[in-house]
Amino acid sequence: MDSDLIHNDSFDPEDAYAAEQVEWLLQWNNHLCMESDVAATALKMQLISVNSLKEKLKLKLDQLGEMLGDACSSLEHRSTNKLDDEFQTLKAKLEETQNKIHLLIDRDLELRRTVEQLTHDLQFVTLQKDQLTIERDGMVLKLEEQESSYKGMVAKQDQQIRSMQVIISESQHEICQKEALRRQLLVDLEGQEQVHLQQMEAQRQSLVENNEDSITCSICWVTWDADGDHRVVSLACGHLFGHSCIRNYLMRSESCPICRQAANFLHIRFIFGRHVLPNQTQ
Ligand SMILES: [Zn+2]
Ligand SMILES: [Zn+2]
């Protein structure tokens, strides 16, 4: 119909080029129409397939909606049960916690009472500690005084010890001197003893000799006897003689032959002393 219109109204037979162009445009138009038909057909086919997909998707969506509803109801049911359980559990826990809280409150009261008691005790102990601290300070003062007096005593004792050491050293010196003196005296005494012994020996010797003389009758120069005719006798003057010798002598003389004192027979006395009787003692 378009080619008829172009042919009737604007076709110019004189212009072959334009005719060809029109022919070409017509062919191009037919070609485009065919292509658009093909495209429309393809679009229709795609539309059908899209509709089918849409139907399927709708079905799936419905199914999913149902599943979602089921799931929601089941979830709700399950959640409710779970919540009930949790609620019960929480309730039990709450009761337990309340019990614990009551127990804690009791414990707290008990602890408060204990704390009050301890505070009271602590105050008592603090008072005692203060009192003991005062006593301790007093004792420390006393101890310091005692220590100072003790130090004074120690110093005095040291002084005494030093003076005693001086005395001891002096005494030791004196003892040494006295010991030397004693030894000297001992030596002197030994010397004196020796001299004395020598003197005694000399005296003893002289005594022995004297004794010989003293036990000898001075008339006959013979030792007298303890008894018998020549027994020892004395005159009034005390001189000793043999009895027979002095009797014979007094017949001729009236005096002692030793001291010339007057003598006679009546003066003759027997001598009984042992020491003048040498025959019995020797
Ligand atoms: Zn005689
Ligand atoms: Zn005489």
DSSP 175-221: HHHHHHHHHHHHHHHHHHHHHHHHHHHHHHHHHHHHHHHHTB-TTT-
Residue 142 has a pLDDT of 95
Report ipTM for this prediction: 0.87
Residue 246: nearest ligand to its CA? 1
Spacing, Cα 256 to ligand 2 middle (Å): 4
Query: DSSP character for 262?
Result: B
Residue 249: nearest ligand to its CA? 1
Residue 218: nearest ligand to its CA? 1
Spacing, Cα 12 to ligand 2 middle (Å): 248
Looking up residue 252, the CATH number of its domain turns out to be 3.30.40.10
- 266 is written with which tokens? 């009546």
Spacing, Cα 282 to ligand 2 middle (Å): 26
- Give the structural domain span for 243: 216-281
Alpha-carbon distance of 267 to 282, in angstroms, equals 28
Residue predicted with more confidence, 54 or 15: 54
Spacing, Cα 261 to ligand 2 middle (Å): 6
Domain end, chosen from 14, 44, 64, is at 64
Spacing, Cα 203 to ligand 1 middle (Å): 27
Domain end, chosen from 11, 34, 64, is at 64
Q: Is residue 17 part of a domain?
A: yes
Spacing, Cα 204 to ligand 1 middle (Å): 26
Q: Is residue 146 part of a domain?
A: no
Q: Is residue 230 part of a domain?
A: yes
Per-residue pLDDT tens digits for 200-230:
888 888 776 766 667 889 999 998 888 899 9
3-class SS at 240?
Answer: strand
Residue 15 has a pLDDT of 75
Per-residue pLDDT tens digits for 85-120:
889 999 999 999 999 999 999 999 999 999 999 999
Helix-helix angle 16-214:2-9, to 10 degrees = 130
Model confidence at 231: pLDDT above 90: yes
Spacing, Cα 204 to ligand 2 middle (Å): 26
Asked if 223 and 241 touch (Cβ cutoff 8 Å), the reply is no
Spacing, Cα 200 to ligand 2 middle (Å): 30
Residue 219: nearest ligand to its CA? 1
Confidence at 277, pLDDT banded by 50, 70, 90: low
Alpha-carbon distance of 50 to 56, in angstroms, equals 10
Asked if 204 and 227 touch (Cβ cutoff 8 Å), the reply is no
Q: Is residue 35 part of a domain?
A: yes
Q: Is residue 85 part of a domain?
A: no
Residue 241: nearest ligand to its CA? 1
Spacing, Cα 280 to ligand 1 middle (Å): 18
Q: Is residue 12 part of a domain?
A: yes
Domain end, chosen from 46, 64, 82, is at 64
Q: Is residue 196 part of a domain?
A: no
Residue 237: nearest ligand to its CA? 2
> What is the domain count for the chain?
2
| Residues, beta carbon < 5 Å, ion ligand 2 | 237, 239, 256, 258-259, 261
Q: Is residue 261 part of a domain?
A: yes
